[in-house]
Amino acid sequence: MIQFVQKSRIGVFSLVFMLAMAIPRLASAQTAAVLVKTFDISAAGPGPRMRIGDMNGDGRLDFLLCDATDETPSQVAMLTAYDGVTGTKMWQVGSGGSAGTDRDEPCQIYDIDNDGNNEVVAVIGGQMGFYNGADGKLKTSFPIPAASAHDAIMFANFSGNPVPQDIVVKDRYTQAWAMDVTGKLLWTYQGITGHYNVPFDVDGDGRDEFFTGYSQLDYQGKPKYTAPINYDHPDNIWIGDIDGDPTNGYEVAYGLAQQPSCQMVSTRTGKVMWTNSDMTETQQLLLADYLPDSKGLELFGLDRTVRSSLDSLFLIDSTGKTLWKETGTNGSGGTAVKPILNWDGTNKPMVLVFKRGTATVWDGGTHTMQYKLGMDGNAVMGDLAGDSKTEILMYSKTTANVYAIAQLDWNTPAANPGHPQKQTRQQYNWSRYGSSDIFALTAVADGPTGPPGGGTGAGGATGTGGAAGTGGTTGSTAGTTGSPGGTTGSPGGTTGSPGGTTGSTGGRGGRGGTTGGGGGTSGTTTTGGTLSINGGSTAGGGVGGGSTATGGTIVATGGGTASTGGVLGTGGAGTGGSPNVTGGAAAGGTSSSGGAVRTGGIAASGGTSGTPIAGAGGSKATGNSGGCSCRVAGQPSQPTMLASLGFLGLMMLRSLRRRRSR
């Protein structure tokens, strides 16, 4: 009997212990996002689509509902603007509208005339109109260049203006038109266009190239190349330094309804660098540094495994290798994914998956579901509450719900009250298809951007922080930081070019802190221009690529206004170059072999045995490093729990049998 009691207690203890271990794993995938605000938008029409931006100039984001016409492509029938803090309807223009479209309506929020206040730019009745964001009054208008030229609106900088003020419109699939701010036609292009096009300054000359279909156009609309992909149209494109090698420029990734269904192309040559045939129809891609310990950037995406009935999420690494693909889940062909910036205050890239029955927030690197939202439907995202984190605004035809990671004070004052909040490129070049570039989430539109490597200073790599540490035991091998600076010791390209045009308005913060906006060694850029405060986490383009053995001198004031010289700490240098302590850019350095210290401040391998400093720059605790094809560390493991419960069952059966035998 005593033996039986002891074994029985062991079984009960095992049950409690195993459940205690298993429940947190399940809970991590079942956490409910917090509903912090609900708005009534029933006055916005029968099928509105939402945009966000500061329209009333109070420094907080508002939201705009755009109701479209039934034609294909659509024009705008009605616009309804709401105050983002109170939900009060501010104004309404037009009437009627369709029950909802499956395309991009020609409507955006942007300071198109560069007067400091955001306008609503929309095509209504064949006219491109600029509407005052605060009251909806028409400021100016001009005819669109063709009867069908109203499928989406994109803002670009082809004219070399201080800010993007050129406008691109397109028909559904075959032609695009570029106009200046007065409506004057700059150029037109005929060819495959795809759903949404991306303006992006590839060569750092202060004028955007234009990615449409499989072609890259120069600022005059002339093709620089057409990639050797000749089927249908791209559903989605993303641009960035995908392979983690700044010496060969940026890459563009295409999501396609063909095989291979995902391809990466060099933006310099148009050459296909890799293909992936593991998907059926790559409807959407999101480019981010989901695995900071791995070289380059990763692609989190959505595959229409069986069109209109089954879809799958997936993760592809910088070499084109599929790291994970979800077992097909019921979908209606409308499932969508969107990037979430700073959901939890750590700047870790997350993903919203919605229009799937349940809206969920995923960790892209561990490909695990982290939060569920109480509403599904359409979605936009931004810092709606003014708390520096990203909130998700889910909406239907009548209701808009704001979700956050935790309860918050909705009445938090604006960061800069009384001053209109500028739009990010992701906000003013909004698309339901999500095509964009890696820097668009944070970079504001206030200047040209230098090219990657060689053309800018050696710095600007550490971005959002986390100290890079001292680089392990050797110091000299810790030059793995600062990869975006270029491969030679040249002083930031040509005579300290400050990430674009010398002494311009600082560029776009070195494209979000990745290419070293501002800097160079000449020290003559008048502190590199004043870089946008949102253009990376350091206002002046971060420090250079670490003080390597050859070091170079640090320019004391020549890197813009990076308040503490970026966040590289000692720069990982053992023998040369003093640390940047006043915001200067490194003197070109020779850290060409350095791995990419991207926005998380990760010190790559940090030498042979370096340990990254804890915090935002520390190595990722839940993701595998190296070339593992699974990348499942940190994922809630239901098979593990089931195995545990199975073991428990065997233990209990064994105890019962012994009890009966007695």
Whether the per-residue pLDDT at 346 is higher than 50: the answer is: yes
Q: Are residues 461 and 564 in the same domain?
A: yes
In a domain, residue 318? The reply is no
d(Cα 326, Cα 75) in Å, to the nearest integer?
37
Top-confidence residue, 647 or 208: 208
Mean pLDDT throughout 345-361?
A: 94
Confidence (pLDDT) at 463: 41
Show Cβ contacts of residue 366 under 8 Å, excluding neighbours closer than 6 positions. Answer: 622, 623, 631, 632, 633, 634, 635
Confidence (pLDDT) at 96: 87
Please write the tens of the pLDDT for every residue from 490-525. Answer: 333 333 333 333 333 333 333 433 333 333 333 333
- In three-state secondary structure terms, 139 is strand
Confidence (pLDDT) at 40: 98
Phi, psi values for residue 483, rounded to 5°: -60, -30
Query: Do the beta carbons of residue 231 and residue 260 sit within 8 Å?
Result: no
Mean pLDDT throughout 356-364?
A: 95
3-state helix, strand, coil in the chain (%, to 5): 10, 30, 60
Mean pLDDT throughout 550-578?
A: 33
Band of pLDDT at residue 63, cut at 50, 70 and 90: very high
Domain count, the chain: 2
In a domain, residue 428? The reply is no
Q: Are residues 660 and 567 in the same domain?
A: no
Phi, psi values for residue 626, rounded to 5°: 80, -155
Confidence (pLDDT) at 129: 98
Whether the per-residue pLDDT at 591 is higher than 60: the answer is: no
In a domain, residue 316? The reply is no
Whether the per-residue pLDDT at 389 is higher than 80: the answer is: yes
Confidence (pLDDT) at 101: 77
Q: Are residues 628 and 658 in the same domain?
A: no
d(Cα 134, Cα 420) in Å, to the nearest integer?
11
Mean pLDDT throughout 614-640?
A: 33
CA distances for 361 relative to 284, 364, 405, 636, angstroms: 16, 9, 10, 14
Q: Are residues 589 and 659 in the same domain?
A: no
Show Cβ contacts of residue 661 under 8 Å, excluding neighbours closer than 6 positions. Answer: none
Q: Are residues 601 and 661 in the same domain?
A: no
Whether the per-residue pLDDT at 552 is higher than 70: the answer is: no
> What is the domain extent for residue 506?
456-635
Please write the tens of the pLDDT for every residue from 311-331. Answer: 999 999 999 999 999 988 777
Q: Are residues 499 and 630 in the same domain?
A: yes
d(Cα 341, Cα 507) in Å, to the nearest integer?
21
Confidence (pLDDT) at 455: 39
| DSSP per-residue string spanning 531-592 | --TTSSSSTT----S---SS--PPPSSBTB--TTSTT-TTTT-SSS-PPP-SSPPP----GG
Top-confidence residue, 47 or 264: 264
In a domain, residue 364? The reply is no
Band of pLDDT at residue 102, cut at 50, 70 and 90: confident
Name the residue among 587, 318, 585 with its Cα closest to residue 438: 318
Top-confidence residue, 272 or 567: 272
Q: Are residues 597 and 571 in the same domain?
A: yes
Write out the two tokens for 412: 């938090």
Name the residue among 621, 26, 32 with its Cα closest to residue 348: 621
Mean pLDDT throughout 377-383?
A: 95
Q: Are residues 540 and 628 in the same domain?
A: yes
Q: Are residues 624 and 591 in the same domain?
A: yes
Write out the two tokens for 281: 């129809």
Among 162-171, 178-187, 279-288, 535-544, whose mean pLDDT is lowest? Answer: 535-544
Mean pLDDT throughout 582-597?
A: 34
Q: Are residues 503 and 619 in the same domain?
A: yes
In a domain, residue 555? The reply is yes
Band of pLDDT at residue 569, cut at 50, 70 and 90: very low
d(Cα 347, Cα 349) in Å, to the nearest integer?
6
Mean pLDDT throughout 394-416?
A: 94
Q: Are residues 621 and 660 in the same domain?
A: no
CA distances for 4 relative to 12, 307, 391, 628, 662, angstroms: 12, 58, 55, 46, 9
Show Cβ contacts of residue 95 under 8 Å, excluding neighbours closer than 6 positions. Answer: 77, 78
Mean pLDDT of all residues in the chain?
Answer: 73
What is the percent of the chain where pLDDT is above 70? Answer: 62
Confidence (pLDDT) at 30: 66
Write out the two tokens for 603: 């010190």
In a domain, residue 384? The reply is no
Confidence (pLDDT) at 300: 98
Q: Are residues 656 and 557 in the same domain?
A: no
Dihedral sign of CA atoms 523, 524, 527, 528 in order: negative
In a domain, residue 360? The reply is no
Whether the per-residue pLDDT at 481 is higher than 90: the answer is: no
Whether the per-residue pLDDT at 118 is higher than 60: the answer is: yes
Band of pLDDT at residue 443, cut at 50, 70 and 90: low
In a domain, residue 275? The reply is no
